[in-house]
């Protein structure tokens, strides 16, 4: 299959490296400056006990528009803030049989991509601890999984499974991808609300007596998933509780880190969309609402 990966950051770069090294036909869709650097220097990938640089095929939105080339599969691995621009950028690569798998957090991207490319979107999520070090991709632990499935149930085309089943990460194909996406959304949202509302790592929040409030946040957000028809499993709830109530933990959410660093963030994509969904379902979310007031006020204050 021909595969286009939108984004060559920590996620797209790490999983893309594994696909390239397995001999898959992969091209990265990136910005012009990134394309120039990758063409000149290749893509360096660093993981535990691994460090190498691979030559990779790249294209830009301008190049793709000038020579539209439909591909078989598109993996969308960008931050939420880039979603709208990437939809426009990748349109020349979408043919009638192209399938698209977004790996963004939350659920807003599903509806947005389905509206643009109806019937061509699969569900997907990844788990990896990665970052960018300059232009290099750094995978910080051995954890690397990719989970895909047909939205609403049904079979994922075998060719897609074969293309993505490569060494270096574990591929999971499941029927309940909608439930899995909701579980991840609830966890990421809960982590964001907890650390942004209390402005501290989990261990400090526990030391200050915050455990009952953290449990209340988790209950509140899980109620939204339940009302949407995607109840969070006992296993997922236990994992969320363990992570967000661990004494002495230095854990903070990526949303908290972006907000406190003054970086572009996914507040509206993750928390704002969840609030809108809750209101549509008639589920009260006072702690989520309070967190959004704080975050939005902070954004307003910075831009004033």
Q: Please tell me the total count of domains within the chain.
A: 2
pLDDT tens, residue by residue, 77-108: 998 989 999 999 999 999 999 999 999 999 99
Find out whether 5 and 75 touch, Cβ atoms under 8 Å.
Answer: yes
Tell me the CB-side half-sphere exposure of residue 261, using CA atoms within 13 A.
10
Give CA–CA dist 303/243, Å, rounded: 33
Residue 219's CATH number: 1.10.1040.10
Name the band, by pLDDT with cuts 50, 70 and 90, for residue 304: low
Same domain as 28, residue 96: yes
Task: Give pLDDT, residue 55.
Answer: 98
Same domain as 34, residue 169: yes
Find out whether 65 and 92 touch, Cβ atoms under 8 Å.
Answer: yes
Task: Give pLDDT, residue 300.
Answer: 74
Residue 303 scores a pLDDT above 90: no
CA end-to-end span of the chain: 49
End residue of a domain, out of 155, 175, 195: 175
pTM listed for this prediction: 0.92
Give the β-pairing of 94-102 and 123-133: unpaired
End residue of a domain, out of 175, 200, 227: 175
Task: Give pLDDT, residue 163.
Answer: 98
Average pLDDT, integer, range 242-252: 96
Same domain as 199, residue 158: no
CA 120 vs CA 129, 161, 235: distances in Å: 28, 15, 31
Residue 40 scores a pLDDT above 80: yes
Residue 130's CATH number: 3.40.50.720
Region of poorest pLDDT, from 8-22, 29-43, 129-143: 129-143
Same domain as 207, residue 141: no
Instruction: Give the domain range for residue 159.
Output: 2-175
Same domain as 57, residue 109: yes
Task: Give pLDDT, residue 299.
Answer: 82
Same domain as 184, residue 63: no
Query: What does the mean pLDDT of the chain come to?
Result: 95
Which residues, 6+ apart, have CB-to-CB distance to 44 below 8 Å? 51, 52, 53, 135, 136, 137
End residue of a domain, out of 121, 148, 175: 175
Same domain as 154, residue 20: yes
pLDDT tens, residue by residue, 44-60: 999 999 999 999 999 99
Same domain as 208, residue 124: no
Same domain as 200, residue 158: no
Task: Give pLDDT, residue 18.
Answer: 98
Find out whether 128 and 14 touch, Cβ atoms under 8 Å.
Answer: yes
Same domain as 241, residue 163: no
Same domain as 227, residue 163: no
Same domain as 130, residue 19: yes
Percent of the chain with pLDDT over 90: 93
Exposed e or buried b for every residue in 209-240, given b needs 16+ CB within 10 A? ebbebbeebbebbbbbbeebebbbeeebbeeb
Average pLDDT, integer, range 131-140: 93
């Amino acid at each position: 299959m021909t595969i286009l990966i939108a984004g060559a950051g920590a996620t797209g770069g790490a999983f893309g490296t594994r696909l390239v090294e397995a001999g898959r036909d992969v091209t990265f869709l990136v910005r012009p400056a990134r394309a120039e650097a990758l063409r000149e220097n290749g893509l360096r990938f660093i993981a535990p006990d691994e460090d190498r640089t691979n030559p990779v095929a790249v294209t830009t939105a301008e190049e793709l528009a000038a020579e539209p080339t439909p591909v078989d599969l598109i993996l969308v691995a960008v931050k939420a803030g880039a979603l709208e621009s990437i939809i426009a950028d990748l349109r020349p690569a979408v043919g009638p049989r192209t399938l698209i798998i977004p790996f963004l957090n939350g659920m807003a991207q599903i509806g947005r991509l389905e509206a643009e490319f109806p019937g061509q979107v699969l569900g997907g999520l990844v788990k990896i601890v990665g970052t960018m070090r300059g232009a290099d991709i750094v995978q910080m632990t051995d954890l690397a999984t990719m989970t895909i499935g047909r939205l609403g149930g049904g079979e994922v085309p075998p060719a897609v499974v074969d293309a993505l089943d490569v060494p270096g990460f574990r591929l999971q194909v499941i029927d309940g991808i909608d439930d899995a996406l909701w579980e991840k959304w609830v966890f990421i949202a809960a982590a964001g609300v907890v650390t942004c509302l209390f402005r501290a790592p989990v261990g400090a929040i526990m030391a200050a007596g915050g455990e009952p409030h953290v449990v209340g946040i988790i209950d509140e957000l899980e109620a939204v998933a339940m009302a949407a028809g995607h109840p969070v499993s006992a296993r997922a709830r236990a994992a969320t509780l363990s992570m967000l109530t661990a004494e002495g933990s230095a854990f903070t959410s990526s949303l908290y880190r972006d907000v406190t660093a003054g970086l572009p963030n996914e507040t509206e994509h993750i928390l704002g969309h969840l609030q809108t969904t809750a209101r549509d379902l008639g589920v009260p979310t006072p702690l989520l609402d309070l967190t959004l007031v704080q975050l939005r006020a902070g954004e307003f204050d910075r831009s004033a």
